[in-house]
Amino acid sequence: MSSSNTCDVAIIGGGLAGLTAGHLLNLAGIDVQLFEAGSKLGGRIQSLGHAPAGAAIADHGDLGPTWVWPPYQQAVSKWIRKLDLSLFEQYETGNAVLDMQMDGPPGYQPLPGQHGMARIVGGPQAFVNAMAAGINDDKIHLGHELSQVSENGDGFVLEFANPPNPPNPPNPPNLPDWSANRIIYAAPLRVLAERVNWNGVLDDTVLRLMRATPTWMAAQAKVVMLYEHAFWREAGLSGRVASQVGPLVEIHDHTNFDGTQAALFGFVGWPAEHRQKEKLEPAIRAQLVRCFGAEAANINEIHIQDWATKTNICSPLDLAGPAEHPQALPELMAGAFSKNRIAFAVAETASQHPGLIDGALEAGERAALLMSNQRAATVAT
């Protein structure tokens, strides 16, 4: 191990929780390094990769989360203010489509939206970009999947594997080990429990709890359709569909805040093993025509994001069981472990809204605080 590869706090996972922790620890002047298995930051938050020419942020669609509920979510509303982000309403004007039979006409009726539900200008990606901007580039290591951790005196040695999708520019084939005094685990708990060789660093009680915690939406697939214009709005439709015949069980208007990119998105109801693109895409096109008429066939782009295929998000345990909303975990997971050298930060460990964006912000902040206090305590003694 090269002695230059050392840090005070290593963060495992570059989703919103890990980035929030990194942002805060960096601000506190703590020597932090962030390791992300994927080729880009954001984890479950991913926007469509292209921005309109000259636009500061990609605003073409969310392949992961879309909504926040600021009146009910303290961490979200605080960070929206702090990072100077803007909100806009989910479009719900007009009738929704009730898609209940394959070969009959759909029904139409208004469906109420959820109180307090909002979208973020630039999508949740705007959170990711703003948090990442607070961490120096040379402290962020993409394409670094933690594969093994072991104790080494007062600290830890971390070993990394190169994942199948390399970042740009690619990493060298053999990634160096790192040593860290303390670690924040900001990655899905089941994935960590199953894919990392722990060498006794975490005990069986903790590993059992990690395996028992579903990763919210990990086995979902989301589809974004881009259109030239929002023709459904002109026909007095909200863009919302409730379907019992699918393949999209829910569809929503997904046009961006200033209306420059018309879009719909839907959640796929088919089980993961039946979601081959060559079957799914024609079935989606047929459903859109059934619900919205012939104009719905004129899709400019269709993007299918199947989270069930992402091994750093979705574990075989998530695929085996029903989709369950994570429950608040016992206090144990919110504390620091192993003589205050380990903390967890993924959204599922939050006390409020576990599994959601709000949970990721809360958990990242809590882990950063645990590590900052720990340093303050060490300095004081």
Ligand X SMILES: Cc1cc2nc3c(=O)[nH]c(=O)nc-3n(C[C@H](O)[C@H](O)[C@H](O)COP(=O)(O)OP(=O)(O)OC[C@H]3O[C@@H](n4cnc5c(N)ncnc54)[C@H](O)[C@@H]3O)c2cc1C
**Which chain residues interact with ligand X by CB under 6 A?**
12-18, 35-38, 43-45, 64-68, 145-146, 186-188, 191, 195-196, 216-217, 220, 222, 307, 312-313, 346-347, 355-357, 359-360
Distance between CA atoms of residues 92 and 90, nearest Å: 6
Nearer to ligand X, 140 or 290 (CB): 140
Distance between CA atoms of residues 346 and 359, nearest Å: 8
Helix (H, G, I), strand (E, B) or coil at 155: strand
As measured in angstroms, the least distance from the Cβ of 363 to ligand X is 6
As measured in angstroms, the least distance from the Cβ of 70 to ligand X is 11
As measured in angstroms, the least distance from the Cβ of 296 to ligand X is 22
Query: Hey, what are 184's tokens?
Result: 């924040």
Q: What single-letter amino acid sits at 164? A: P
As measured in angstroms, the least distance from the Cβ of 368 to ligand X is 13
Nearer to ligand X, 231 or 242 (CB): 242
As measured in angstroms, the least distance from the Cβ of 253 to ligand X is 14
φ, ψ dihedrals at 334, nearest 5°: -90, -10
Nearer to ligand X, 108 or 249 (CB): 249
Q: 195-213 burial string, b = 16+ CB within 10 Å, else e?
A: bbeeeebbeeebbebbeeb
Q: Which residues pair with 302 in a beta bridge?
A: 225
Nearer to ligand X, 106 or 180 (CB): 180
As measured in angstroms, the least distance from the Cβ of 120 to ligand X is 10
Nearer to ligand X, 119 or 341 (CB): 119
Nearer to ligand X, 240 or 290 (CB): 240
The owner of tokens 């930051």 is 41
Query: Hey, what are 320's tokens?
Result: 């085996």
